[in-house]
A and B are shown apart, each in its own frame.
Chain A
Amino acid sequence: DGGITQSPKYLFRKEGQNVTLSCEQNLNHDAMYWYRQDPGQGLRLIYYSQIVNDFQKGDIAEGYSVSREKKESFPLTVTSAQKNPTAFYLCASSIKTGGINEQFFGPGTRLTVL
């Protein structure tokens, strides 16, 4: 069954701890993305990667880090430098169709920092 998986669904961490959110896709998509969703603010882009071993900062990259060692995986680390990490995190992937990126989304991970 093809799709994007994110784990875990809910994650709790203490303030000051780094935490890594998993994102895996078996769609053979080239590009992957991380967004943060907050009430009333829509989705904001954290990082994205068009190909393996390459990634770019999005609009709110401060306090986050990523890696793209494999095509199917794009983990996001929320570091202690992120001032307000409690949010819903969405991973997406896309394949270029005629140069157009149509993005497919995972189910999300809700991170709560206590």
Chain B
Amino acid sequence: AQSVSQHNHHVILSEAASLELGCNYSYGGTVNLFWYVQYPGQHLQLLLKYFSGDPLVKGIKGFEAEFIKSKFSFNLRKPSVQWSDTAEYFCAVLMDTGRRALTFGSGTRLQVQP
């Protein structure tokens, strides 16, 4: 069955540290890729997305992600995190299986210490 894996379940960083969160999926067909963020007490909101074209995509708040098709990966990066980045981050994949719904990873809880 198709799946999405986020191997980092809980990450603790100090402010100004660099961030990379891993996301891998198991599907050989065409995919569209998303990163969502859930700040404490807030709605789940879209951070960035990849549909086609340049595999390096930039999102809000200085986040970016790179789609590496050969590795089935879509890792999220930020060069310098802030305390306000403390949140839970979800990778999601839309696969061209005919089921028009996202498959989510299990999420990564990021805690940024001041």
Listed in ascending order, the chain A residues whose CB lies under 8 Å from chain B are 31, 33, 35, 40-45, 48, 50, 56, 58, 90, 98, 100-108
Contact = CB atoms under 8 A, between A and B. Distances in A.
Nearest to B6: A42
B100 A43 contact: no
Given A42-B90, A101-B94, A105-B44, A58 B101 contact: yes
A42 B102 contact: no
A100 B104 CA distance: 16
Contacts of A98: 51
A45 B105 contact: no
Given A40-B9, A42-B90, A42-B106, A101 B43 contact: no
B99 A42 contact: no
Given A40-B106, A41-B106, A42-B106, A101 B101 contact: yes
21 contacts: A31-B100, A33-B101, A35-B104, A40-B9, A40-B106, A42-B4, A42-B6, A42-B105, A43-B92, A43-B104, A44-B104, A56-B99, A100-B32, A100-B94, A101-B102, A102-B34, A102-B46, A103-B102, A104-B46, A105-B36, A107-B43
Given A42-B105, A104-B46, 13 more contacts: A31-B100, A42-B106, A43-B44, A43-B104, A45-B102, A48-B100, A50-B100, A58-B101, A90-B44, A101-B101, A102-B34, A105-B44, A105-B45
Interface of B: 4, 6, 9, 32, 34, 36, 43-46, 49, 51, 90, 92, 94, 99-107
Contacts of A107: 43
Given A100-B94, A107-B43, A42 B49 contact: no
B51 A100 contact: yes
